[in-house]
Structure 1
Amino acid sequence: MNSDLHGALAACKTLPTLPTVAAQIIELSSQEDYGLSDIIDIVRNDITIATKLIASANTPQYYRGEPAVEISQAVSRLGFKSTMMIALSFSLSVKANSEEQSEIDLLSLWRRSVASGAIARLLARELGLKDPEACFLAALVQDIGVLALSQAAPQTYSTLSETSHEALCAAEKAAFECDHSAVGAWILEQWKLPSEITELVASSHDFATLTLEAGSRKDQWCIAISGLLADAMLAGDQFQAARMVWLIDGVCGENNGTESNIVPLIADAVREAEALFEAQLVQEPIALLEASKEKLFEVMTDASRDVSDDKVTQLEKRVSMLERQGQRDSLTGAINRGHFHAELDRLFIDSTNTHRPLSLMFIDADHFKQVNDTYGHLAGDEVLKWLASAFTELVGEKGLVGRYGGEEFVVILPNAAEKDAMLLGQDVCDYVRDGTVTAGDANIQVTVSIGIATFDPDSKLRGTRDLIFAADQAMYFAKQSGRDLCIVASALPTPPQAVAAAG
């Protein structure tokens, strides 16, 4: 956080304030001598929070055979720590929801917070964490910094409703040298919330780092991924939802040692949150999440499966044949998507039969929209052609370069082990970073993010769909981890069983 922002926050008189009940609970928790009766005295004076606590005590996670009908029964069943976290959650959520902000889409922010809280708490339970309610509270208030920044720097938030969460964070970092997770943590520190909540909010945007770093805190990861999955579900983005669910299955599967079936649990958690918060979040969440799997396979497996002469096995002859048949992308000269799938199918079968490795590289041009917006689409086309030429030169006879769509390219590397593909990927990153594309009077520099997946005799990947999705997932992590780098899929947690075998 730069000094100008810190000063603006400190001087702002309209920052979100701590509700009375929350302040009383925090004060109680700081005392050495307290009991359940003390917190009962606090929450029973707020009928809304008392009602929510009773409802929480009657959810499946806390139900004990008889319904809790009084606040004393609810608090006794929940215990002090859970009661404190749940009461703070409802107290702070009510306050946040009542703030009058004209610059931001508060309803969307509210829905994201509730959905994220529900998902984070479920994941914490699935991973066996000791305090899932802390994850619930942290996820619920993780965007409190947006409310603060909308008051301290309102000009930055004039178009919030038209901006993705990722784009918003990037704009914040450019303007303030931090994003709203840091501001939210600062606000919570002023409120004297427990340090564990402040730390969880501060790391809520560190999804890629938390996933890739071994030994990272699982509670922090629950908060970070819950926001991304909530975004996907609320936007109806089936492909992004599938990415997140695939990763959640992997983490929960590694933790439990069994295949996870997280989809119905997520749907139930969201529905439960809707009932507790009296909010409508996602239309038929289980249908959305299940459909996301099918959407993923539709996107990953092109309808065109025109496999030509299987007897042609030499790569040079295959490329020549593709050229003659016009099976190349008209702009870049790389093989087109349909024939990428055909070649991948053929080479996957060959790899299976010969027990030789097969690597797949997904390459995405970073911030390509900015190139088009700044220099125009004709310049963007020149960048794509330059990239395809660079990839073809670097790959040479080791593989096939294809254009998957938009600014995304693929490279099939027969007989290439993961370490060899990784070395090539790093070379590609270096070459592109150091190069310059001339388009008219403009000299344009770009970078790329690369994901690599490898099929070999020891691989858990069972088909081309698995291979494609794993490479795409690794590329997504490269972008989430800062872009301009190469990541292998083996660095990511994977489900005990792969996504799905090719049809």
Structure 2
Amino acid sequence: MHQQLQARIDSLSYLPTAAAVAMKFVELGQNPDAEPGDYARIIGADSSLTTKLLALANSSWAGVRNRVTTVKMAVHLLGLGTVRTLAISYCLSGLHNELHLSQAESQIFWQISLWKAVAARICASLTDPKRADEAYVAGLFQDFALSVMYSVARDRYLCLLQDRALSAAALLAAERECFGVDHADAGRAIALKLELPELFVDAIAFHHDPKRLSELVANPILREGASAAASLPHACNAWNREDSDALAALLARCTPPVELADFVSKVQTEFTQLFSFFNEGKVPEGKLPDLLAATAREAADNTTRLVGTVTDMVREAAEAGAQLHRRMTSLESEATSDQLTGVLNRNGFTTRSKELLAKAARYGTSIAVCYLDLDHFKQLNDTYGHALGDAVLRSAVSASHSLLPQQAIMGRLGGDEFVILLTGCSQESARDIADKVVSTVSGQTVAHDGQQLHVAWSAGLLYIRPTSELQDIDQLLKAADQLMYVAKRRSGNAVEMAVR
């Protein structure tokens, strides 16, 4: 099940550009001098967001007599706070679209996320309203892995989410048994793929781990907002008593103390306002206070229709932004890729590997470095010419790269020397990948003037057990290179492995 979940996360192409827009609006919310024109400029750069904002300003719900024709007019009409909330919330529904969730399924996970976003914002506002938008984002994205895990094991996972006997801690344990990871770990992987700032990655990764959250999120206001959101239900019809008690205890420590019932009522009121805003005045049926009052019984009401307008906006924005994202990716690839083989060049590999090593140290994950060198390549080049040598390189690298998991990177260091970097894999998986790379290439031949020329790698594989110590890429490459030469001296077409 872990491999299925990882494959589903790897397959997501949900663009980080929408998240980047949300981050810009968070920054505007912290700027007391920000004006409607500042908002209008950011919105105007996104044609899809512009269209939807104008459509909402001209809807019957807004109740204007004269047609709103400019973004600045719409911002004035709707208000800066409302526009910020719209843009930030704009990011989430595209994920549900990629997972092919039905409208009813999407509504379930949207309501959970919106509840938590509102709770985090209200909790932060009690102490520092300036951090409210950051808290809102942390709450909104906190549980977005739930929908991904649900898409992998629908019936089984839905039973876990709706089991009111499971506290948050018990749910995490059940998820690890089912998937090999819990929704906080999966959320961290999605947040990294989405390229969210580290503040939000940490708030997502450790929202159920107060100790690590305290170590990595310096601002106590954001920590409290994330913790408050984490105590809310993971399903629309089940709230465990242990979790509601935890929220009550957290609120009692606030200055001044806040009653749980008052807090839940305020969350529901703001949630209802947001729902009405996104759905042109409609009122949601789901009530958080009802869950609090019924922690000893199962709620009977089904989830209501939620945030259809935002879902449409995100879907259309993702389509509109896809072409721009591909152009940006293409330009970056040209600067960091090897023109012959298509993998990373030395500079590109060095830059990317340092980022992966830093994340591996931060989250205490394993590292594997596989150094590859083609056997007898110089002799082949001297005998048959560089054109054939280039063809051999392209063939060997293409076959090798096709065997790698999506999170792995491969680079060309020079000549016929290549390297693969893996993080977060087991020792057995690293060895299996290296063996497959060597055996697959050794089974290939390249045709030349009626001859079939054989190709083979010698590989040095260095595996570093999970550690929080930051590794130096140059030292890792040096050690893996030495292992490769051991394999080459043994006869070539082999893997020499060491474990630290």
TM-score by length of 1: 0.42
TM-score by length of 2: 0.42
